[in-house]
Structure formats: C-alpha cells, structure tokens
Structure 1
Amino acid sequence: MTEHVPGVRSAAIGVFVGVGSRDEAPTLNGASHFLEHLLFKGTPTRSAMDISSALDAVGGEFNAYTAREYTCYHARVLDEDLPMAVDVLGDMLTASLITPEDVEAEREVILDEIAMHDDDPDDVVHNLFAAHAWAGSPLARPIAGTAESIRALTRAQVNRYYRGRYTAPAMTVAVAGNVQHADVVRLVKKAFARNDFLADVDAVPLPPRLATSPRATKPGDIRTTRPFEQVNLVLGMRGLTRSDQRRYALGVLNAAFGGGSSSRLFQEVRERRGLAYSVYSFATSYSDAGMVGVSVGSLPTKSGEVLEVVRDELARVVSSGLTQDELERGRGQMRGGLVLSLEDTGSRMTRLGEVELFQDRLLSLDEVLARLDAVTLEDVHTLAADLFNRPETLAVVGPEN
C-alpha cells in the first residue's frame, strides 16, 4: 500500500504483521512483544549495531510496537534513503537469528519494562480493567505478558512463533511520502526475497479482520491495592467494533463528552468541582470487540465523589444527549485532529496499514469528513442511550482505605 504525498522530501514505511497479543496461546503470553524486541538484535548480514547505525547515520526514525491485533515495524527517512530502510526492514522481518544469547538478554529488558508499567497507575488500572472485562479471552491478557509468562518463554517457543506467524500473507507494507508505487514494489520484492520468503507465488493476503457484532464483556467491580498516592479508576461498558458504521458518531460523542478541556467531563469534574487533575472518556475498538468508558485519577478522599459525578454525567448524556454546541465542538475536534494528523507521513502510513488489516476499503479524507459532518444530535443521543446503559465494568486501583 502506498500513497504519494506531494511537497514532502520524506517517506514513512511500516511493515504491519497481522499478529498480536490476542493471537497467543496462554502459554505464549507476551511472545509477540518479545519477538518485536528480538527482531532488532541481528540477522546473518547485520548486527544489532548495524541495524541501529544504518538509520541513525541518515537521521532516520526507527521503531516498532506491538498491539493486541498486529505488530508494526516502522521507519521514517529522507526519500533518497527509502531503499536502505526497506532493505533493513526486509532483512529483520525475514532473516532474524533469534539467538539464545539475545533471548536471555532481552528477557531481562522486557521484565524491566513490565516492572516500569507496574509502577504506572494508569497502566495498572487499564490492565486490570481489560483482565476483568474480557476475562477468559486473549484480549484480557497484557500485551507485554506477565513476569511469570516472560520468564517461562523459551527460545524455541519464540522462534517457532516467528517462523509460523511471520509469513508473507500476514504482512502488509505501507509507505507514504515522496514515493512512486512501482518503485516501492520493486524495493520490497528485493528486500523480502531472502530465505525464499516470497517463494509461494500462489500466496494471497490474509483477509481483513472483520466481525458483525462485538464480543460480550463481563460486568462487575474489581479492585486491587497498590501504594499509590491516588485512586485510579476505569468505568466502562461494551462498545463498538472497528468496522461498526456508528464509529463516526462515537468519535463525536467521545470528543464532546470527555475528549478535551472543553468537554463535559473535564468541565464538571476538574474545572467546576476540582475533584481530579486527569479525567477523560475513551472508545477502544478491536475487530470483534470494543469498550467505551471513563478513566479518572483522584485523591483517595475524593474517589467516591468522583465516581458519583462520572455516573451522573453518563446518566445525563443518556437522558438528554449533547447540546448543539457540544456536537459542533466534538465534530470540529474530530475533523481537525484527522486533517492535522494527515499532514504527517507517518500518520498517513499508519492509516494505510490499519485499513488494509481491518477495513473493506480505504475511505478518502473527504469521505471521512462527510461522514463526520452527517452525524446528528439524534445519532449521538441514540448511541449514548444504547452504550452508556449497558452493564458496567469498574476497575479501581489505589492505597488501602
């Protein structure tokens, strides 16, 4: 997938592998993220230092991330350096060594990363929320794995996961910038031809992940004690899938309800009552699942009142929807955020890759803006009345009472 962006001298490339933490068996929890780290450690022709220095030497940006439904390896370089970036990524994706020494060294790095997230109240409460809301599903497990699962993973398991999952049909290469499609295809064919990676001439891309309805979520409360200064809570309900056509109305609703400093939640919880420093609503969507809700952190003495106010505001938007001014602000926030993000080649590249993985087709910018413009007060009110009336899942993390 490519997009020519006039007037820029850069190119952003991403290799999207259609495998993430939700594709792991329980005994492999964290394998996708572990593998993401290991692919930077070296190939038969490049050491870890060679991989890093190749991009550093031209001022390029180079990184990767693991999500629940895919893993992405990406770079952003001057247009003249794109052939090098494609070759490095192709080498990493098709010919990484996954040596026992690298596995043991990176195991310690990942354990440190997990410990770092365990010290972040926001990460802890969202992981707790997911664990309860999607209990029994791979979506419930943390993307990075747990300390126990990472210690138990062997080199053989990770290497087998690499060889079995990182196949040509599972990969989408997306490039945006000062590029021509035919040139990119030629570069990719050459870079990914190592180890007969493209030998299966009959291979076809895996179809996009699509679902007609979201999977069920588990309601109820879950609480855990941590020696934090604040109480952090997430209150949520079952939401929409990535492909649900109501996602445009949800975007407007989410922006107006809790997406910025002018939003209803921010104004009521922070500005008027001074109950919390950070409060926001969220809408998380996957191919066959979704959650909507509110995240907030407050002093322990104020947590009960914060939760009561949040529930009151949810009830108010269910009963009366948004005002016209709120609708316009929410729509404007969505429109502006989308257009401004697409001034960046990296954002355009990410959009290409994610659409190929999760949608039937790529909508033009004008089509997306038209769908946002078509959202009405009735659309938002109907959606809020549906979503925010669903059974609640509440996760709370904080000090002992």
Structure 2
Amino acid sequence: MSRAKRASIPGASGVPTSIPAGSTAVGRAGSAVGAGPARAVTRVVDSDPLGGTVRRTVLPSGLRVLTEAIPTMRSVSFGIWVAVGSRDETRPQSGVSHFLEHLLFKGTRKRSALDISAAIEAVGGETNAFTTKEYTCYYARVLDEDLPLAIDVMCDLVADSVLNAADVETERGVILEEIAMHDDEPGDEVHDLLAQAIYGDHPLGRLISGTEETVSPMSRRQIQGFYRRRYTAPSIVIAAAGNLDHAEVVKLVRQAVRGTPLDSEPGTPAPLRPADSRVRTGRPGNLVEHKETEQAHVVLGCPGIGRLDDRRFALGVLNNVLGGGMSSRLFQEIRERRGLAYSVYSYSSQYADSGLFAVYAGCAPGKVDEVLELIRAELAEVAAHGVTDAELARGKGMAKGSYVLNLEDTGSRMSRLAKGELLFGDLLSVDDLLARIDAVDADEVNALAAELLSRPMSLAVVGPFGAGDFPAEAG
C-alpha cells in the first residue's frame, strides 16, 4: 500500500492535482437525484475528443459510478474512492484510515488475502491503495477483458472485509515498520513537520499514518467501528476508465455489492465536505528535527488557498514560475547559478477549506542559511514586482501541456473522474479546463503573489541543527 502525504503537490506542470476535470454537467454532488431514488439514475456527463464518453450513474443506495469509455485502449483502470481520510479522525484514532487501508486487503467472507492478490496477478493486473487527508482510494488496472474480475475483487474487499484479529496484529507490525521507515526519510518527514507547524493540533497537521503512540493501542473494535460508520454507499465513488461499457460496469458493481453493507437502504450521495470552522493556522514558527544527516532538508511555507478557490488556476501558474520546473526562478537561482542544492521546488496542497504553499530545498548543512535567504528574497521579489509576460506564458504552457499529457494514462483519467465528483461536485471538460488556464492573466497572478508570498512563513528543518539555530519567527 502507498500513503499519499502531499496529494496536491504539482508535478512539472505546477497544476495542483486537485484541479477538476471532466464536465460541468454533473452539478453539485448529489444534486442530480432526489431523496432516496427508487432506481439508478444515469446521465451522459461529457464526450471528450481526447478520450471518450463519460457517464454517471447514481444507484438507489447513493453510491455513484462514473466511467469514461476509451475504445482505443486495451486496459481499464478501476478505482473505489471513499470520502474519508486522516482529517476525519480524532486524536486517539490517528492513523485508523491508513490502518484500515492495509486491512481491507487481508480477506473477506469470500476470499483470503492470497485469493485477492493471486486473482489479479494471475491476469497480469495490479492493485494498490493509498490514504490521504481527505479520502482513501483502492484501485486496480487490468486488461479490458478482465474488468469483471477486477470489479468483483475490489468491491468485495472494500465492502465486505472481515478484519480478523490476527490480521490486525500482523498489519499493526507492518504499519509500525512503515512509520519507522518514514522517520528514516528526512526528505519526506520535513513536509509533515511543516504541516504540523501550520495546522498545529488540527487533524490536517497530523501524520496520515498515525504515530507509534496511536497505532500500538488501536483495537480491532475501534477499526471495525470506523469502517462501518464511514464506508457507506453515499460516501463512495466508483470510477473506471478504458475500454469498457458503462451499463456493464454498473451491472457488475451492483452484483458485486449485493448482500454486503454497501447494498443499503435508499440514500443520496453525500454532499461535498463542509468547511471546518476549527481549521485555524497559528502564528508562524519553526519546527526543527535534529538528525545527524549529511544533507539538510528545509521547507518554508505559509497558509494557502482551498481547492474550491477560483484562484487555484492562477496558483498553478504562479507555482510553475517560482519552483515548478527546471526553468523556474528558484531552480535557476539556487541550483543552476549557485550550485547550492540538488533539489529545490515549490508546491501547494489544497483541501476543502484550507491549503498551504511551500518551498523545499535539500542542501549541505553549511549552506542552509544562504539557501533560505535566497528563497525568501525570491519570494519577496515576486510578491513586490510580480511575474514577467514571458514567465506567465511559460507557466500557463507548462500547466496545459502537463495536464493533457497525463490524460494519456487510464489511471489519470479514472482519477480525474473520481476527484471531480468527490472533491469538487462538478467536472470540467478538458477544453473547459484549458480555457480556465488560458484565462489566467498577469493581474490575477500578481495579485495572488502579493497576497500569498507576503504572508509570514513557517519553517521546518530536518538535519544536524537545534531549534536555537534559527530565528524564533521565520518570515
């Protein structure tokens, strides 16, 4: 299993992965159906010239099925997305979503753990899962002819896992090893430190995996209760992309969940995640984890914008200019001109009601002060004077090109359907999304830069330092 820690970090394009795609035809989640529909409701969502026809069905239980038919493919990516993640946990529950993600592969009433893995591997397919702060995903990628098998296996493990006590103890050990391994990866750990510095005790500031203190005493009863309370039909989106027939996928899903807890009473899809009034970011500060590493890892960041903020498109462009690729300001100044760091980049993470913007650098411990000074200077320069026309054009081109190129993969297409439905409540077609990026102008980017990059910054550091090695307030 994999654990997504920074799910909205952009790749080379700088467009946050949470930008929706698909079509505006869906509307807000759940609005397409009335209370407790008596039958499944299906509609065509989009017809994409770069892919195929997108359809959406809401089952009577409130479970949603979205597909994109791409007849030119010989594979299908199939995913089950649950609207629950680590931010839905209390402090004593910290890590339960991730724990559950592991356990669901350990066996159902119909299949053992070996049966689950062997069934998919026997046809050359692959399965995996990941947990984020706001959702959990279980997915498989198979040949088109093996899609019925993938649907049956994946729906079975998500809907009807038995959570044997022995398996709980086995996976507890595995997760504790994963936590220890994470502690040995300072380049990952430093990002979690920044989230803690910005969000404090709010669940957005906690580790997705939980800690040894929370995972060790977690009981099967606690995990089982969380499973049955949270994994309900209205909170689940099933998405598939590739060479498929929508009606057949819906039929197979209904067959697969029949007789399980997901074969529930009539319901409507859960609404979008509401804003949490408890999300408060405290005073900027420093968090320093002392480790005798050969390289220092630093992240400078501040509160950003939420994923429903219309300025997310401008943020994607701004991020490209600052640190989204080899032509970015930070990369050129810190690595290319001065040779101070091997890795330096900027990124944004966006949630339903909050977000953060940050810059990471890995460098020799003796160069940390100089690197931080250069980062702050570059952020201040862009905040004060904005970006050039050439940078704006390059940032927009990177965003559009990367997005479209990613759509050549069925996994990415499957993800965009699920994220649009689960996180945004509507889907932008590819053309609409590209038009939104094209519409970003210099005034919008510069206004966002002036606001965002002028905010006081928090600092996270992992390396051979103590808290007293840095000023009390970074920014």
Give the TM-score taking structure 1 as reference length. Answer: 0.97
User: Which residue of structure 2 aligns with residue 375 of structure 1?
Assistant: 440
Residue 248 of structure 2 corresponds to residue 179 of structure 1: no
Is the Cα–Cα contact under 8 Å of residues 71 and 244 in structure 2 kept in the other structure? no
1 CA distance for matches of 2:439 and 2:274?
Answer: 24
**Structure 1 counterpart of 2:322, from 236, 240, 257:** 257
SS in 2 for 1:194: coil
Shift of 1:210: 5.0
CA distance in 2, matches of 1:197, 1:270: 52
Q: Which residue in 1 is equivalent to 2:128?
A: 63
Match of 2:270 in 1: 206
Cα distance in 2 for partners of 1:73, 1:196 equals 17
Measured after TM superposition, the shift of residue 196 of structure 1 is 4.8
Q: Which has the higher contact order (CA 8 A, sep 6+)?
A: 2
Matched residue type, 2:111: R
Structure 2, unmatched stretches of 5+, are 1-65, 467-475
Name the CA distance, whole Å, in 2 between partners of 1:355 and 1:127.
26
> Are the aligned partners of 1:214 and 1:239 in contact in 2 as well (CA < 8 Å)?
no
Is residue 153 of structure 1 aligned with residue 218 of structure 2? yes
State the SS of the aligned residue for 1:11: strand
CA distance in 2, matches of 1:5, 1:145: 39
| Greater alpha carbon shift after TM alignment, 4-13 vs 249-258 | 4-13
Counterpart of 2:271 in structure 1: which amino acid?
A: P
Letter in 2 for 1:354: K
Distance 2:261 2:360 in 1: 48
Whether contact under 8 Å (1:241, 1:288) holds in the other structure is yes
Where 2:109 maps in the other structure, the secondary structure is: coil
Equivalent in the alignment of 2:45: none
Instruction: Identify the range of structure 1 (205-214 vs 389-398) with the bigger mean alpha-carbon deviation.
Output: 205-214
Is structure 2 residue 256 aligned with structure 1 residue 191? yes
Cα contact 2:160–2:261 (8 A) shared by 1: no
Secondary structure of the residue aligned to 1:64 is strand
CA distance in 2, matches of 1:143, 1:392: 23
Aligned counterpart for 1:338 among listed residues 398, 403, 406: 403
Structure 2 CA distance, aligned partners of 1:213 and 1:17? 23
Aligned twin of 1:130:
195
Other-structure match for 2:7? none
Deviations 1:145-198 (A, max 9, x none): 111111011111111111111111111001111112211111111111133532
Find the aligned partners of 1:328 and 1:83 in 2 and give their Cα distance: 45
> Residue in 1 aligned with 2:420?
355
After TM superposition, give the deviation of residue 6 of structure 1 in Å.
3.3
Aligned AA for 2:368?
S
Q: Is the CA contact (8 Å cut-off) linking 1:210 and 1:358 kept in structure 2?
A: no
Tell me what 1:314 maps to. Answer: 379
Separation in 2, partners of 1:224, 1:59: 43
Paired residue for 1:386, among 443, 448, 451? 451
Q: 2:273 & 2:71 partners in 1: Cα distance?
A: 31
Q: Secondary structure at the match of 1:369?
A: helix
* Among 20, 23, 28, the residue aligned to 2:88: 23
Choose the corresponding residue for 2:161, options 96, 108, 130.
96
Deviation of the 1:244 alpha carbon: 0.7
1:211 positional shift: 4.2
Structure 1 residues 15-24 or 161-170, which shifts more? 161-170
Q: TM-score, normalized by length of structure 2?
A: 0.82
* 1:214–1:290 CA contact under 8 A, matched in 2: no
Q: Which moved more, 1:166-175 or 1:204-213?
A: 204-213
Question: Following TM superposition, by how much is the alpha carbon of 1:212 offset from its aligned partner in structure 2, in angstroms?
Answer: 10
Give the Cα–Cα distance (whole angstroms) in 2 for the partners of residues 366 and 308 of structure 1: 41
Which of 264, 278, 281 in structure 2 is aligned with 1:217?
Answer: 281
> Which ranges of structure 1 fall in alignment gaps of 5 or more residues?
none
Partner of 2:184: 119
Confirm whether residue 237 of structure 1 aligns to residue 302 of structure 2.
Answer: yes
Q: CA RMSD in A?
A: 1.4
Stretch moving more, 350-359 or 204-213: 204-213
Q: What's the counterpart of residue 78 of structure 1?
A: 143
CA distance in 1, matches of 2:435, 2:276: 24
Aligned residues: 400
1:136 Cα offset (Å) = 2.2
Matched, 1:166 2:231: yes
Residues 242-267 of structure 1: CA distance to partner in whole angstroms, max 9, x if unpaired? 11111011001101210111111000
CA distance in 1, matches of 2:213, 2:380: 41
Q: Classify 1:313/1:123 alpha carbon distance in 2 versus 1 (closer, same or farther; 3 Å).
A: same
CA contact (8 A) 2:296 2:463 kept: yes
**Equivalent position SS for 2:461:** strand
The match for 1:248 is 313
Contact 1:209–1:359 (CA under 8 A) maintained in structure 2: no
Q: What amino acid does structure 2 have at the position aligned with 1:207?
A: P
User: What amino acid sits opposite 1:35 in the alignment?
Assistant: L
User: Matched residues in 2 for 1:253 and 1:240: separation?
Assistant: 13
Q: How far did 1:286 drift?
A: 0.5
Q: What amino acid is aligned across from residue 345 of structure 2 in structure 1?
A: Y
Query: More helix by proportion, 1 or 2?
Result: 1
